[in-house]
Chains A and B, each alone.
Chain A
Amino acid sequence: MDLDFNKEQKILKSSARDFLKKECPTSLIREMKNDKKGYSETLWNKMTDLGWMGVIIPEEYGGIGGSFLDLSILLEAMGEVCCPGPFFSTIVSGGLAILDNGSEDQKKALLPDLAEGRIILSLGLTEPGNWYGTENIAATAIKDKENYIIEGTKLFVENAHIADYILCAARTGENMKSKEGLTLFLVDSKTPGIKYKLLDTLAYDKQCEVIFDKVKVPEENIIGKEGQAWDILESLQEKAAVAKCAEMVGCIQTAFNMSVAYAKERTQFGKPIGAFQAVQHHCANMVIDVDGSRFITYKAAWKISEGLPASMEASMAKSWVSNASRKVTFLGHQIHGAISFCDEHDMHLFYRKAKAAETAFGDGNYHLEKVAGQLGL
């Protein structure tokens, strides 16, 4: 049992931290809030130069061939600063789908571009009638010779407005409830019939409504096989949930650090507020939530890295971390008091981020239900 990072991973973590501390101050998050694209190309390019885009892409496709653990370390560092931009949707939601399930041709065509930071990806799963998971996806893809015609509406499609490709899950089979008949398409975002609208969201991230109106997609753009996206999406969401947890661990670590530092320096009644047990106990409770989040997240990430089954750990992680991040960021506000209610204070950035991440790839209750399934209930 070794719960610490190895030497290379420690270096990766500290160098990622140093880099982001310098290049991604909270002023950038505020700047990106009203930015049309929602990310800094300068920062994106620098991240590319560091090899981050290729962290999990094998060397033969132009990446650096790192592990899922390495990816998690980078995501944790990005979470620590609430780094805005399309890294997650491109490398995790989109990149992993192609890496794990793409044909050789698709990989050759896309992975080198991904590693070079040249393309942005986005995943379209959720629909107005379907919140979490892949049940009840209603978008259809009807075969028309060598093409499929996609019809449907997707919600919470991250960065669709800047994406080069949108991965879209749609029904190619008749049965709406069946696990069969679900297919994943790689859709060129320039294809006629695609309309997107930016949604105004809590955490300033760029999530879109995307309408597919008779969008023609060639057969060779199917990821995996026709009708077999269920398993692909289950596994993808499992990994994405753990990756999201890694980001959240970073997010709540910062909220926690800020709070403990503030409890030591803020004076009331003639002593630091951290000398009061009520505040001390808030901090102690945060330790359980933050450390617990870290342990369970990295256990799941390690299992994925090793290629071991991780469904139980992934859902345990997402449910614990979802609840923990809500509690930690709220207590962060409580310890800071009124000043943290001001827009100029940074705490709310983490409070917002934590909530947005909580709902991504299934909230706590959704994953508890998955745990129940794993328990054989």
Chain B
Amino acid sequence: MEFKFSKQEEKFRTEVENFLKEELPTDWPDKSMHWPGGYGSIEIENKENQRIFLEYRKKLAKKGWLTISWPKGYGGEEHSYMEQAIFDEVTSYYRATASGISTGIAGPTILRFGTEENKKDWIPGIANAEIDLWLGYSEPNAGSDLASIQTTALKDGDDYIINGQKIWSTLAHESDYAWLIARTDPDGHRHKSVSLFIVDNNTPGVTIRPLINIVGVHSFNEVFFDNVRVPKKNIIGQENMGFYYLMTALDFERLMVGIGGFRRVFEQFVEYVKQTEKDGAPLGENNNVRQKLSEIAVKIEIAYMFFWRTAEMLDKGNVPSVESSALKLVTTELSRNLADVAMEILGPYNQLMPGSEWAPFSGMAPRGYLDSISATIGAGTSEIQRNIIATRGLGLPAR
């Protein structure tokens, strides 16, 4: 038993930290208003941020860190899961999470299941941050029950014709291609009739419509596919295997929880509490404030333990099924919790949005209060995570 990083891991951590300090503007963590666990805010909320972030990602690509989870020879350096976890922790602490759909999901899936042609077509662009993909999974009638998707991709000569609608398509409007699942065999078994495609956003018949989220940010879209013709070579791997690929890809996403973001917000908030007075006494002397913040500190520590545990299990060759669902559950509930506590402590000032006169704590709290709604819903609701823990983890009967 050892609750510390190895020397090599410490060295890597310092290296990542130094890189971020050098390559990002010092005020980047304040520019990016990301609330940990939330899906509602994006790094590139304005053109200036967009430019900075793209530059940063290109530098990461050069360094080989954009593809940190990839095997050697495919842009990856063969880092252990623990090192990947450290990378996620540090980058998210700087509010500069680099891994997304392209490098976190599409790349590794293509490397594992794609044809040689798939690899040739897509891997270099993804690895060098030249192309970006958006995730085309959810549909209006397929949320938690993803296997019920209705979008079809039917063969027509050397092409597929795609019809249907996707929703919650994060950053579709800023990406180049869809990483899309569609039903290729409408009469087949629900898990064995779905295929994965890469579809160019510019193909005729693709319509992207913005969905402004409750934070006021254009992060989501709904995307319509009306007789969209896609060449056969754009199918990833084998036909009708999409659902299997998608489930396997969950392995790659386990450590993408942005855990360092919690540490950052908490540190900032503790600092705020130390420097603020209420009714003539420091806020930090208030008993309720002390208890609530300590409770959050304990929960963050617990979330970190699930995080390191997941990485450690992967390195040991074990499958962290309970642990990774528990990690998702714990971090996203913490996202809510943190916002609740911050709002409670700020009292009437909790209404002041970013940029407003008198807004404490840069207006992060009310924004987080809105954004964190998405945390326990997106990427598998808390209820779905509990189902997974109970059925896959504990072996309770599924029905």
User: Do A and B originate from a single complex?
Assistant: yes
Which of under 10, 10 to 19, 20 to 34, or 35 or more describes the interface residues of A? 35 or more
Asked if A11 CB lies within 8 Å of chain B CBs, one says no
In whole Å, how far is A343's beta carbon from the nearest beta carbon of chain B? 28
Interface residues of A (CB under 8 A from B): 1-6, 9, 69, 260, 263-264, 271-272, 274-275, 277, 279-281, 283-285, 287-288, 291-292, 295-296, 298-299, 302-303, 313, 316, 319-320, 365, 368-369, 371-372, 375-377
| B398 / chain A contacts, CB cutoff of 8 Å | 275
A369–B291 touching, CB < 8 Å: yes
Which chain A positions have C-beta within 8 A of B157?
A: none
B289, B306, B396 pick with most chain A CB within 10 angstroms: B396
Contact in complex: A274, B291 (CB < 8 Å): no
A371 touches B312 (CB 8 A): no
Contact in complex: B330, A283 (CB < 8 Å): no
CB atoms of B395 and A3 under 8 A apart: no
Cβ B394 vs Cβ A287 within 8 A: yes
Chain B residues near A1: list those with CB within 8 A. Answer: 2-6, 9, 82, 308, 311-312
B269 to nearest A CB, angstroms?
11
B383 at the interface (CB under 8 A from A): yes
- Ranked 5 nearest A-B pairs via Cβ: A280-B390, A295-B305, A284-B386, A372-B290, A371-B294
Contact residue among A3, A277, A288 (Cβ-Cβ distance under 8 Å from B309): A3
Instruction: Say whether B45 faces chain A, with CB atoms less than 8 Å apart.
Output: no
Q: Given A291-B326, A292-B305, A3–B394 Cβ distance below 8 Å?
A: no
Question: Is residue B215 within 8 Å, beta carbon to beta carbon, of the partner chain?
Answer: no
Does B130 lie at the interface of the complex (its beta carbon under 8 Å from any beta carbon of A)?
no
What is the minimal beta-carbon distance from A377 to any residue of chain B, in angstroms?
Answer: 4
The answer to whether B290 and A369 have CB atoms under 8 Å apart is yes
Q: How far is the CA of A264 from the CA of B5 in the complex (A)?
A: 39
B294 touches A372 (CB 8 A): yes
| B385 on the A face (CB < 8 A) | yes
Whole-angstrom CA separation of A316 from B302 in the bound complex: 9
Residues of chain A contacted by B305 (CB below 8 angstroms): 3, 292, 295-296, 299
Contacts of A376 in B (CB 8 A): 270, 274
Residues on A with C-beta less than 8 A from B2 are: 1-2, 302
Question: What is the CB-to-nearest-CB distance from B290 to chain A, in angstroms, rounded to a whole number?
Answer: 4
Residues of A within 8 A of B397 (CB): 264, 271-272, 274-275
User: Given A271-B397, A280-B390, 14 other A-B contacts at CB below 8 A?
Assistant: A3-B1, A264-B397, A272-B397, A275-B399, A283-B390, A284-B389, A287-B394, A299-B3, A316-B298, A319-B298, A368-B290, A368-B298, A369-B294, A372-B284
**B297 in contact (CB, < 8 A):** yes
Also in contact, A287 and B5, with CB within 8 A (given A280-B386, A377-B284): no
How many interface residues does chain B have, given as a range?
Answer: 35 or more
Tell me if B293 and A281 are in contact (CB < 8 A). no
Residue among A275, A302, A371, A377 with max Cβ neighbours from chain B (10 Å): A377
In the complex, what residues of A have CB within 8 A of residue B306's CB?
291-292, 295
Contacts of A281 in B (CB 8 A): 383, 386-387, 390
Residue pair B395, A69 in contact (C-beta under 8 Å):
no
The answer to whether B294 touches A295 (Cβ under 8 A) is no
Q: CA separation between A6 and B1, bound complex, in Å?
A: 6
Closest Cβ–Cβ distance, residue A271 to chain B (whole Å): 7
Task: Name the contact of B1 in the complex, choosing from A280, A298, A320 (C-beta under 8 A).
Answer: A298
Pick the contact of B3: A283, A303, A377 (CB < 8 A). A303
**Within 8 Å CB of B33, what residues of A?**
none
- How far is A148 from B358 in the complex, measured between Cα atoms in Å? 61
**Which residues of B are found within 8 Å of A299, using beta-carbon distances?**
3, 305
Q: How far does the Cβ of B336 sit from chain A's closest Cβ, in whole Å?
A: 14
Residues of B within 8 A of A372 (CB): 284, 290-291, 293-294
27 residue pairs bridging A and B, Cβ less than 8 Å apart? A2-B2, A2-B312, A3-B1, A3-B308, A3-B309, A264-B395, A271-B399, A272-B396, A272-B397, A277-B383, A277-B386, A281-B386, A283-B389, A284-B326, A284-B393, A287-B322, A287-B326, A287-B393, A287-B394, A288-B326, A288-B330, A291-B309, A291-B322, A292-B305, A299-B305, A319-B298, A368-B290
User: Are A375 and B5 interface neighbours, CB within 8 A?
Assistant: no
A9 near B399 with CB under 8 A, answer no
Q: Contacts of A375 on B, CB cut-off 8 Å?
A: 270, 293-294, 297
Q: Mask for B113-147, Cβ within 8 A of A = 1, else 0?
A: 00000000000000000000000000000000000
* Contact (Cβ within 8 A) A275 B396: yes
The answer on a CB contact under 8 Å between A280 and B322 is: no
Hey, which chain A residues are within 8 Å of B226, CB to CB? none
Question: Least Cβ distance of A293 to chain B in Å?
Answer: 9
Shortest distance from the beta carbon of B46 to any chain A beta carbon, whole Å: 34
A296 partner residues in chain B, CB cutoff 8 A:
298, 301-302, 305
**Given A1-B2, A280-B387, A287-B322, A320 and B302 contact (CB-CB distance below 8 Å):** yes
